[in-house]
Amino acid sequence: MTYTLLGADGRPYVSAAPGRLGGYRRGRIYGRLDCPSALRAIADGGYMAHRVFFADEATARAAGYRPCAVCLPDRYREWKNGPHDRHRLRHRGPDRPRRVGTFDGLRGATRDGGT
């Protein structure tokens, strides 16, 4: 049997061994395969189309994914408080405010006043 995993470059590759960690491509989050949050999302449907797998934590981090706050709280805390390459992640923190001119959800208006 073969498995498709993501490599450190974020590209899929075929592996003889299954992934040890799962991830969510849209949120660029990785965690344990038995993560309660991931299992709920899978049960709700729609999640599997964006599911990815990694051989190990170092590969997941190198691919630009962050630890899950639910199943890896210590690693998540370290990630959140430590230096990391935020431009590769889809995380909007206080140092990365919403861009001017993006949709703010109010009747199609944008932050710069346009429509």
pLDDT per residue over 30-71, tens digit each? Answer: 999 999 999 999 999 878 899 999 999 999 999 999 999 999
What domains sit in the chain, N to C, each tagged with a CATH number?
3-88 (3.40.10)
- Note the pLDDT tens digit of each residue in 68-91: 999 999 999 999 998 755 544 444
**Cα(94)–Cα(92) distance, integer angstroms:** 7
pTM: 0.70
Q: Would you call 110 exposed, middle or buried from its count of C-beta atoms within 10 A (0-12, 13-18, 19+)?
A: middle
> What is the rounded average pLDDT for all residues in the chain?
81
Number of H helices, E strands in the chain: 3, 6
Cα separations (Å) of 36 from 8, 41, 42, 58? 25, 9, 10, 22
